[in-house]
Chain A
Amino acid sequence: MTQYLVYMNTILKISSLSKAYEAKKVLENVSFEVGSGKIFGLLGPNGAGKTTLIRIITQIIDPDHGSIVFDGHAQTEEDVFLMGYMPEERGLYKKMPIGEQLIYLAQLKGLSKSEARSKIKKWFEKFQISDWWNKKVEELSKGMQQKVQFIATVLHEPKFVILDEPLSGLDPVNADLINKEILNLASKGATILFSTHRMEQVEEICDSIVLINKGKIVLEGDVKDVKNRFKENIFEIEFEGQIEFEKIDWVDFTHQVVDEHRFRLRSKLPQSPAKVLKFLLESEIAVTAFKEVFPSLNEIFIKSVS
């Protein structure tokens, strides 16, 4: 797909990015933009090239071709200070005290020691883990380590946060906690690049997505637009009383009864909901509820990838 969304304020613009390892093409001519302050979903099955793409954005590896514009300028080495990255494979020094470790990681991101210390304290209070300063990572459970990892990623208040499967392995309580913090960051103006294959999470929090498969972009856009693009003109109607379906002239519609108070309509041509509703009312159906049925991202994902 060569046509892509253009945002008013773009924080990241990726153009014609390609990367190959020996003969294997991992990324092929990938281009997309990420709008400033958005929560952006980077989706794709395992081995699609997501991690490679993220590593190029974080300057861990160089692309073979293509360019990246970050915050309005060609990417520079200093831009890593404005990024926070939480890799899918989490990792911290097992034997280093957590407080010291976070200070060190923040210093590598350009913070001074005292800045880092006061920020860490705030996060510790927020997560109610103030007594963890001298604990070692190996003493913590996996979920608790993830909290520390999250703090390490966002401590330096990056403009651009990359989270690779941030909620995997978390219990519902902690997943909710991190989820809220992600939304909180976005509300404060940070852009989040959220890489996952858990579609329900994407649907819940992402503004727009890009779906890559086998190194190529197969789909991208606002979540709403994407769903619109994949809609099949299906409407679900709830009604009162009885309907004699065989007596109605369905014109361009086909119908399917769901249960005694619900049925679905599928239009052969794209129809606006208003027109459909008008048709239903003209057909003297006692509508109590009406909605257009959109495919879930999961369905779109499977459809696009297979």
Chain B
Amino acid sequence: MIRKIWLIFKREYISRVKNKVFWLITLLAPLGIVAITFIPVLITLFTSDQQNILINDQSGYFSNSFTKSSKLDFKVDSGDLDNLKQTYEQNGFTGLLYIPKIDIKNPDGLVFYSKNPLGLEVKSSITQQINKEIVKQKLVLEKLDPNFAKELDINVNIKSIIVTKEGEKAGSSTIGTIIGYAGGMIIYIVLLVYGSLVMQGVLEEKNSRVVEILISSVKPFELMMGKILGIAMVGLTQFAVWIGLALIGFTVFGLALSPALIQKASSASTVTTNINSLNTSSLSGSGVNLSNLSSESASSSTAISEVLNLVNEAKGINFPMVVIFFLIYFMGGYLLYASLFAAIGSAINNEREGGALVLPVMMPIIISFMMLFSVTQNPHGNLAVWASMIPFTSPIIMLSRIPFDVPWWQLLISVMLLYGGFVVTTLFAAKIYRVGILSYGVKPSYGDLWKWIKR
């Protein structure tokens, strides 16, 4: 039996890995991800897209409030609005900001004139600078030192420490969430992709009728397992290539990019320093953007400390454990679902018929994916714990909890249930498969599949 499964496994693996399409996808997928992630960053890094804004200040408060940045330059002009509206474009300005004579207690009536709609980044930058000046003016009005505004630029960092019997260690909420979410998402994608591959592979053997020759030499169960394991190995090969590429990528591009990134981060923080006093609620008049703004300014002004925090947090994550459990849950989840996908593939006559039958199999995978967000937000809640025990959801959910120090007994139960579940689904699936691969013509219903199981 082992020899036969091995032969089938080998053929499945080699024929797939020899295929040019496999290498095309394997090599292009990470390139695609890299492109999607880095191209926008590179574009912003290496293109200067400076905009000149003309400020028509009728109030007189803002003649010195606007600071030039790498992207924005300002010129204040107190001339006639109608005139400026006619000429701002010819004079090389992308937009004209009109500030009327405002009541500093209740500033209102600001208008931005431009040919194209106002970009979010430009808008928030301008609003921040105006808000900052208004705060200063209010301080003056209250007969306080305007420099006190700087003192209001407060940013508290909370360091997370995990207390265990063994001692204390750095916690990992942000980076943990990111890793948990990413891990769950990868499992979600590979379960669907490799599950479908198994289904298509079974269907192909059935439709080319080679299956009858095969099962006159091997047991249907051996054929199914050989195929499932062969495709699993293809998946592991793909991961290995990707991990290798990622390591090369991080070493080569990481070194090249990091100085530029640090520079970028620091310039971003200088633009927006000292304007974080917006949390005071006195600006209720223009309060629409307030919450938006405060979080934005906070995040950019603390970019560096945030990065350092993440690096510290990352140190608290047990990466080898994440990788090991990724492999455990990938294999367990894949094996659990692959036999079900194989059973569906054996029962149908073409891929179009597969849709209705395969939906109930895909449902738990999709539901796990939808739960992923709330689980990473509350990794020790009831939903998270239960969903990480049920074999159909545990591959995605438990993996997303791994960075959050899951109790070992939960891991143990979860892994045992998952692999136990795999044995159960495989036994059922093998019964369907055995009948399905020899059934042609009629599209079976779930009732028929149940009859096949009982046969």
Contact = CB atoms under 8 A, between A and B. Distances in A.
- The answer to whether A and B come from one shared complex is yes
Interface of A: 22, 55, 58-61, 77, 80-81, 83, 85-87, 89-94, 96, 104-105, 107-109, 152
A91 B211 contact: yes
A91 B210 contact: yes
Contacts of B210: 91-93
A105 B217 contact: yes
A91 B207 CA distance: 8
A107 B7 contact: yes
A93 B216 contact: no
A104 B15 CA distance: 12
A152 B208 CA distance: 15
A91 B213 contact: yes
B100 to A, nearest CB: 74
A239 to B, nearest CB: 56
Interface in B40-98: none
A22 B454 CA distance: 11
B105 interface: no
Contact of B212 (A80, A87, A93, A109): A87
Given A22-B451, A89-B209, A91-B209, A83 B216 contact: yes
Interface string B153-184: 00000000000000000000000000000000
Contacts of B15: 93, 96
B198 to A, nearest CB: 16
B216 A58 contact: yes
Contacts of A55: 438
Contacts of A81: 217
B213 A60 contact: no
B144 interface: no
Contact of A94 (B8, B208, B214, B451): B208
Contacts of A108: 4, 7-8, 214, 217-218
**4 smallest A-B Cβ distances: which pairs?**
A91-B209, A108-B217, A91-B210, A85-B216
B216 A80 contact: yes
A22 B210 CA distance: 27
A92 B204 CA distance: 10
Given A96-B15, A104-B7, A60 B209 contact: no
A86 B216 CA distance: 9
A105 to B, nearest CB: 7
Contacts of B327: none
Contacts of B211: 91
A112 B232 CA distance: 26
Chain B interface size band reads 20 to 34
A86 B212 CA distance: 9
B209 A80 contact: no
Interface string B1-36: 000100110010001000000000000000000000
Contacts of A109: 217
A59 B220 CA distance: 11
Contacts of A87: 209, 212-213, 216
Contacts of B212: 60, 85, 87, 89, 91
12 contacts: A58-B216, A59-B216, A60-B215, A61-B438, A86-B213, A87-B212, A92-B208, A92-B213, A93-B210, A96-B15, A104-B7, A108-B4
Nearest to B434: A61
Nearest to A60: B215
B303 to A, nearest CB: 52
Contacts of A60: 212, 215-216, 438
Contacts of B11: 104
Given A55-B438, A93-B15, 18 more contacts: A22-B451, A59-B216, A60-B212, A60-B216, A60-B438, A80-B216, A85-B213, A87-B212, A89-B209, A91-B209, A91-B212, A92-B208, A92-B210, A93-B208, A105-B213, A107-B7, A108-B4, A108-B218
Nearest to A80: B217
Interface string B193-223: 0000000000001001111111111110000
Contacts of A61: 438
A152 B217 contact: no
Nearest to B207: A91
Nearest to B15: A96
Nearest to B211: A91
Contacts of B219: 77
A45 B219 CA distance: 29
A153 to B, nearest CB: 8
A152 B209 CA distance: 14
A59 B212 CA distance: 11
Q: Which of A58, A85, A107 has the most CB of B within 10 A?
A: A107
Interface string B225-259: 00000000000000000000000000000000000
A90 B209 CA distance: 6
Nearest to A61: B438
Nearest to A137: B208
B326 to A, nearest CB: 32
Contacts of A89: 209, 212
Interface in B408-455: 438, 451
A110 B139 CA distance: 92
Interface in B140-159: none
Contacts of B213: 85-87, 91-92, 105, 152
A180 B139 CA distance: 109
A93 B217 CA distance: 16
A83 B8 CA distance: 19
A188 B211 CA distance: 29
A55 B437 CA distance: 13
